[in-house]
Structure 1
C-alpha cells in the first residue's frame, strides 16, 4: 500500500510533528510512505520519501507560482498512484487554494482529511456550503480528539467522522531526554509558536508575574519562534521581570527542556489536540492548561497529572503555578502519574486506529 502524507511542513508546530510521526507509524505498518511538505521547513525526523514542494515557492508566493506548484503536486500524485492521501493541512489559505487542492490536485484519489484544530469549526460555520462541498468527496474525515470529532459531526451531518488521536513516540521522547542539558535553575516552561491569537502567551506572562515564584528563583522559559516575540519581550520589560524570563529559539529537541521543567504551561484560546501537553507528560513532567474548547480536557486529569483551568484569569493561573512550585507532596503525586497517563497515545495504540482507516479491519 502506498500512502502520501501532505503537511504544511516538518517543523515548528504540533500538527507538523504529528505528520512526521504518522510517516514513522505508517512505515512501521509496512506501507510505502511519501511525505509532501507545502513549505520549505524540514526539522523533524520522518520516514519515507520526501517531496519538498516548498522549495519551489517563490518569494512573492504569486498566483502563477501557486498554480505551478499545484500542477507539480498533481503530477507527483499521478506518477506514484497512491492508494491514500492523508491531508494534514490547516485549510486556512483561502478558497482559491482549497478549490485547487481538493477539486483538482486530489481528484480521483482516496483522501483522508485530518482536522487538527477547533478553529476549523468557526471557519466552517462562516461558509458551511462551500466547506461541505470542498470535502464532499473525502474518503474519510478524521478529527484528532473526541470533542472535536463530536463538534464536526454536528456540521457534516451526512458524513461519517471518526476520531484518531495524534500519537507520541514515547521511546523517541525518552531517548531525547538523555541529551546533555546545561540549565541549572528551576523553571516553568512554555513550548510552541509565539502566536498571541491562538496561544495567548500574554496570559502566561501575566500569570507568572503575579505568582511571584521568581522570588524563589523559579524562572519562565519561553521556547519557540514567532513574529510576536517582540510583543512578549516588551511585556516582560513592562512587568519588570526581564531577568526572570528566558526566551529560547525553536529546537528539534524540546523534550530535554520538558524533562527538567517543573511543569509545562499552555494558555491557548483554542487547540486541536495540544500535543505539547502529551509530550510533556511523556517526559514525566506535569502540565497546566486552560480548558479551551478541545484538546486539554482529553489529556489532563485534573489534580492527577496536572491542572485544568476553567478560567482565563491571571490570578487563577498564578495560583496554579504557585501550587506546582510550593506544594511538594501533591506535586510528587501528579509527577508520578504523568507518564502512565499518556500510554493510550503511544505509536502502537494509534497505529492500530490508522490501520482500521486504511484497511477497514
Structure 2
C-alpha cells in the first residue's frame, strides 16, 4: 500500500514532527511511504521517499501564480505515484483559494485522511463555517489528536467519521537522546516551542516567573525556540530587569537534553493541539506544569501525579505553581517517578496499531 504524507514542514513545529513520526511508524508497518513538506525545512528524522515541495517555494517571491504552480506540481506528483492514501497534516490556515486548490483539485480522486492538530482549526471554521466544512466534505476520515479536539471536530463535521489518534513518540529514542551531555551549570525552568504570543502566551510565564522570585535562588527561566515575537519577550524581560535570569536559546535539533536537565517543562498556552513537548519531557523523566487550555494538556497531565495542571491563567497562581515545582522536592520526586510510566500509551508501537486499523 502506498501512502503520501503531506506536512507543513519537516523541521518546524509539532505538526511537522508528528508527520515525520507517522512516516517512521507506517514504514515500520511495511507501507510504501512518501513524505511531502510544503516548506523547505528538513531536519526531523523521517522514513520513506522525500518529495520536497518546499524547494519550489521562494519566500521573497510567492505570488498567487507561484502557489498555483506548486499545486499543479503536487497534483502531477500524486497522479504519477497513484497513492492509496493521502494523510494531510497541514494546519489549513491558508486562504480559501489555496485550500480549494489543494483539497478539491490536487487531492481529487484520492482517499484523504485529514489530521487536525490544533484548536486553531476550530477557530478557523468559526470564521467561515460553510466553506471550511465543504473543504473536508469528501474526507475518507478525519483524525483529531486528542479526545477533546475529537469532540469539537465531531460537532463540525457531522457527516464525516472523526477518530482520535494521538501523536506518537519513540520512548527509547528520546531516552537515548536525553542522555547526551549538556554544559549548563545552573537550575532552570524550561519552555520549549514557538515564541508566539497568540498561542503560547509567554508573557504570562515571564511575568509569573518574575513574581515567583525563584531567580533569587538561582533558578533561571529558559525559553528554547524561535519565533516572530521574540523581540516582544526580550523587551519584557528587560523591563522586568531579568536580563541575566531569562535565557533565550534558539531551536535545537536535540531539545531533549534540555528537557532532561530541567527542573520542569512549562506551558502557559491559550490553546494547544496536543502538547507534544509535555510528552517528550515526561518521556525523559522530567515533570511538567501546564495550564489546562482547550484541548491538549489534560490528556497528558494527571494533576498531582506526573505534574501540575492548573485551571487558571492568574499570574499569582502560575507563580505559586512555579515555586511548587522548585521548592516542594518531595512532591516533584513523586512526579518524576510517574513521568515515564504516564506516557507509555503514546509510544510509537501503541499508536502504530491505531493507524494500521484506520488504513485497513
Identify the TM-score tier after normalising by the shorter chain.
over 0.9
Give the deviation of 1:83 after TM superposition.
0.6
Give the deviation of 1:105 after TM superposition.
0.2
Name 1:249's counterpart in structure 2: 250
For residues 206-245 of structure 1, the aligned pairs below 5 Å read: 206-245=207-246
Name 1:86's counterpart in structure 2: 87
CA distance in 2, matches of 1:129, 1:231: 36
Preserved contact between residue 139 and residue 160 of structure 2 (Cα < 8 Å)? no
Give the deviation of 1:60 after TM superposition.
2.1
For residues 188-207 of structure 1, the aligned pairs below 5 Å read: 188-207=189-208
SS class of match (1:114): strand
Name 1:140's counterpart in structure 2: 141
Scaled by the length of structure 2, what TM-score is found? 0.99
CA distance in 1, matches of 2:16, 2:205: 24
CA distance in 2, matches of 1:180, 1:301: 30
Preserved contact between residue 10 and residue 41 of structure 2 (Cα < 8 Å)? yes
CA distance in 2, matches of 1:262, 1:285: 7
Give the deviation of 1:292 after TM superposition.
0.6
CA distance in 1, matches of 2:192, 2:90: 21
For residues 262-273 of structure 1, the aligned pairs below 5 Å read: 262-273=263-274
Preserved contact between residue 224 and residue 249 of structure 2 (Cα < 8 Å)? yes
Preserved contact between residue 24 and residue 46 of structure 1 (Cα < 8 Å)? yes
For residues 327-342 of structure 1, the aligned pairs below 5 Å read: 327-342=328-343
CA RMSD of aligned residues (A): 0.7
Name 1:345's counterpart in structure 2: 346
CA distance in 1, matches of 2:277, 2:55: 28
Name 2:260's counterpart in structure 1: 259
Find runs of 4+ consecutive structure 1 residues off by over 4 angstroms: none
Name 2:315's counterpart in structure 1: 314
Name 1:57's counterpart in structure 2: 57
Name 2:117's counterpart in structure 1: 116
Name 2:154's counterpart in structure 1: 153
* Greater shift in the superposed pair: 117-126 or 72-81: 117-126
Give the deviation of 1:12 after TM superposition.
2.1
SS class of match (1:243): coil
CA distance in 2, matches of 1:12, 1:74: 24
Give the deviation of 1:127 after TM superposition.
1.6
Any unmatched runs of 5+ in structure 2? none
CA distance in 2, matches of 1:79, 1:272: 33
For residues 32-43 of structure 1, the aligned pairs below 5 Å read: 32-43=32-43
Preserved contact between residue 287 and residue 306 of structure 1 (Cα < 8 Å)? yes
Preserved contact between residue 37 and residue 54 of structure 1 (Cα < 8 Å)? yes
SS class of match (2:113): strand
Give the deviation of 1:131 after TM superposition.
1.4
Task: State yes or no: 1:73 paired with 2:74.
Answer: yes
Name 1:21's counterpart in structure 2: 21
Name 2:106's counterpart in structure 1: 105
Name 1:125's counterpart in structure 2: 126
CA distance in 2, matches of 1:204, 1:11: 25
Deviations for 1:206-228, whole angstroms, at most 9, x for unmatched residues? 11111111111100110000111
CA distance in 1, matches of 2:255, 2:272: 19
SS class of match (1:26): helix
CA distance in 1, matches of 2:357, 2:341: 25
Give the deviation of 1:245 after TM superposition.
0.8
CA distance in 2, matches of 1:169, 1:14: 15
Preserved contact between residue 12 and residue 192 of structure 1 (Cα < 8 Å)? no
Deviations for 1:183-223, whole angstroms, at most 9, x for unmatched residues? 11100000000000100011110111111111111001100
SS class of match (1:242): coil
CA distance in 2, matches of 1:12, 1:235: 25
Give the deviation of 1:126 after TM superposition.
2.1
Preserved contact between residue 181 and residue 256 of structure 1 (Cα < 8 Å)? yes
Any unmatched runs of 5+ in structure 1? none
